[in-house]
Amino acid sequence: MRKPRRGAVILLIVFLFFLPSCAAIDNDFSIWDKLFNPVWDGDFSSLNYKATYPENNVTSGGNMEAWLDIVGWFNMSRINGTDYIYGDPANQSITEYNAVDTLGWDDNMDWIKHELLYDVVNDTLIVQDNITMLWHHSEEKTTSEGHTYIQKTYYYSYLTVYDSEIIPKQYVYDGQNIEALITFYNNSINPKSVIFIPDKLGLYSIDYTYKNESVHEDLMTGYVENNSKGIEFVNFTYNSGWSDPGGNLSHIGVCAVVKGGNFTPDNLSIDIYTPYEQLNITNYNLSTCNLFNGERSMHILLFPILLIIFSPFLLIYFIYKRAGR
């Protein structure tokens, strides 16, 4: 059996090396992203919010050592390279902290309590941890009768630590009054209603439902990634696609299509999804396109049909003319 040539092997390695960068040109995602980053299941609560690599920069004082770190954000998304959160920055922040005592052998810690305070200054979140420790010093004493006992003297110690982080942008979808353009194409051969939503920017997906059928349009795909501290977030890229059930509800291009001539808007439901919320479109702009303009007019499909029918005869005619020269 022939061994593969060294040049072919090198060419294959070079191809695999550059393949991810070529694939990333269109959608900012390489093949490696899709292989190693799972597709988001649509539920932010399924993400990991426990840091694996917190920055434990220790501050000492008050017989304690403590650290505080804003390790990430709940429900964070990244769209076109911009990070977003949805809600109050203090509630969306993920803060980890710890404090230990540095007491001597004859001192004992009773408890340590944390009080976290949050403050937003411009685009920065500042977290303050006020730490209180109750501890006691033990000393052996002797009574006048010669009995020994342990005397405990209690003390409070205090330490305050801080951390700050730039706040991601607040996700705001301003398309609550978005409209759907519905055009009914009235012809006797293939009547249909075409549904077009012109403003889809910022939408994750759309569900079109007519009677008991539905069709789903994906507008973005989310991949689960980790920040430098191990907190997961969803990185979205625009990546459109459809899932058709194969019934009377389907799609053409970027439009949903309802087949048939008995379309009624009351049977239509359109649900739009952002990465954070679900909305229902109720603003329909209806119009009709009549492909017949009277009994004497020709159907718009007449010329294409005639061309298909007579094309073989035209081809035979031209071959016959060239052969007769």
Type and span of the H or E element at 72: strand 64-73
**Residue 307: which residues within 8 A CB-CB, separation 6 or more?**
none
CATH 2.60.40-classified regions of the chain = 179-305
Contact 265, 161 (CB under 8 A): no
The letter for the amino acid at 138 is S
Give the 3-state secondary structure percentages of the chain, helix then strand then coil, rounded to 5.
Answer: 20, 50, 35
The single-letter DSSP state of residue 150 is E
- CB neighbourhood size of 95 (10 A): 20
Q: Give me the pLDDT at residue 183, please.
A: 93
pLDDT tens, residue order, the chain (325 aa): 445 455 544 444 434 444 443 333 334 445 555 567 899 999 999 999 999 999 999 999 999 999 999 999 999 999 999 999 999 999 999 999 999 999 998 899 999 999 999 999 999 999 999 999 999 998 888 887 888 888 899 999 999 999 999 999 999 987 778 899 999 988 767 889 999 999 898 899 999 999 989 999 999 999 999 999 999 999 999 988 998 777 789 999 999 999 988 889 999 999 999 999 999 998 999 998 876 444 444 445 555 666 777 778 777 777 766 776 5
* Whole-number pLDDT of residue 83: 97
By the 10 Å C-beta count (0-12 exposed, 13-18 middle, 19+ buried), 147 is classed as exposed
User: CB neighbours (10 Å) of residue 208?
Assistant: 25
Q: Under CATH, which number does the domain 179-305 receive?
A: 2.60.40
Model confidence, pTM: 0.73
> Looking at residue 153, what is its pLDDT?
94
Q: What 8-state DSSP symbol labels residue 299?
A: P
* Distance separating alpha carbons of residues 303 and 301, to the nearest angstrom: 6
Backbone phi, then psi, for 38, in 5-degree steps? -65, 155
Cβ atoms < 10 Å from Cβ of 204: 23
Residues β-bridged to residue 79: 82, 236
